[in-house]
Amino acid sequence: MNSIEEVLIRMDQIVSACQKQESRIGYFAILYRQVTRRVRDGILAGEFEDNPRMEKLDILFAKRFIDAYERWISGQKTTESWRLAFEASKNSNHLILQHLFLGINAHINLDLGIAASETMDGKELQEIKGDFDKINSVLAELVDGVKANISIVSPIFGWLIPLAKGKDEMLLNFSIQIARDGAWKYAGEYHAHPNKAFQIEDRDKNISALAKKLINPGKFLRILIKIIAFAEWKSVSRTMDQLDQVANKTLPGF
């Protein structure tokens, strides 16, 4: 893939396949496609510090998800962080937000730092920090939009979020802000380390441990999740359509 348009064509294909197969991987794919569209629109409008560089970052970043997905569906080995997210997608007992956060966990905590470093190969990583943060801000605002409107597909979770008073991420032990900060720190470590393969393997162990906590968050939360999941929409394709509508309305400006 050499352009964002090529990335979006492949993302459309993945979303379509997930809808036909009722695959919960589609929850993350729907959201991430909107992130990619927003970045494309920002590049066309000249909104980034370096627009050609941002396109390169976006392609490298998206390719890590697309490659992981293609390897998984063809039975090949992928990173453990993505394997856990993909395998969890088979389980209807997990919440919609759990599936979303499992994808975000692998993509932000592992993939983003690698993509940022590869974009700045032979250059100072710090130069891309501003645009790095902008990709994260798009994803964070889209997730906030989903949470604000999740009562449609997840009535009980929608009822709990106002009661949590801004601490709703604690319900699933996952914070996008913490993930973003950790991703930038890792980007620096990866960029400076001569053994890239070792860096990926070591980081993947830590991030897959976070994925396991998302999947099995503890006895009390498991009971709460079971109650919430009982009332969530069971149709994956309908849920994907609703997430797409919410994401379309939530696209932020930079």
- Distance, CA of 13 to CA of 8 (rounded, Å): 9
**pLDDT number for residue 113:** 95
**pLDDT number for residue 118:** 97
**pLDDT number for residue 233:** 87
Burial annotation 212-247 (CB, 10 A radius, 16+ → b, else e)? eebbebeeebeebbeebbeebeeebeebbebbbebb
**How do the domains of the chain map onto residue ranges?**
4-244
* Nearest to 102, CA basis, from 224, 227, 217: 217
Residue type, 248: N
Residues 28/103, Cβ–Cβ less than 8 Å: yes
Residues 81/179, Cβ–Cβ less than 8 Å: no
Contacts of 158 (CB under 8 A, 6+ apart): 149, 150, 151, 152
- How many helices (H) and strands (E) the chain has is answered by 12, 0
pTM of the model: 0.90
**pLDDT number for residue 176:** 76
**C-beta neighbour count of 174 within 10 angstroms:** 23
Distance of CA 106 to the CA centre of its chain: 7
- Distance, CA of 191 to CA of 194 (rounded, Å): 8
Which string of DSSP letters, residue by residue, matches 77-93?
Answer: ---HHHHHHHHHTT-TT
Burial-class residue 102 by CB neighbours within 10 Å (0-12, 13-18, 19+).
buried
What is the token pair recorded at 141? 């605002």
**For the chain, which ranges sit under pLDDT 70?**
161-174, 251-254
pLDDT digits (tens, 9 = 90+) for 163-207: 555 544 545 556 777 888 899 999 999 999 999 999 999 999 999
Long-range contacts of 124-133 (CB under 8 A, 24+ apart): 125/187, 125/188, 125/191, 127/50, 128/50, 128/53, 128/57, 129/184, 130/49, 131/48, 131/49, 131/50, 131/53, 131/54, 131/57, 132/57, 132/184, 132/187, 133/180
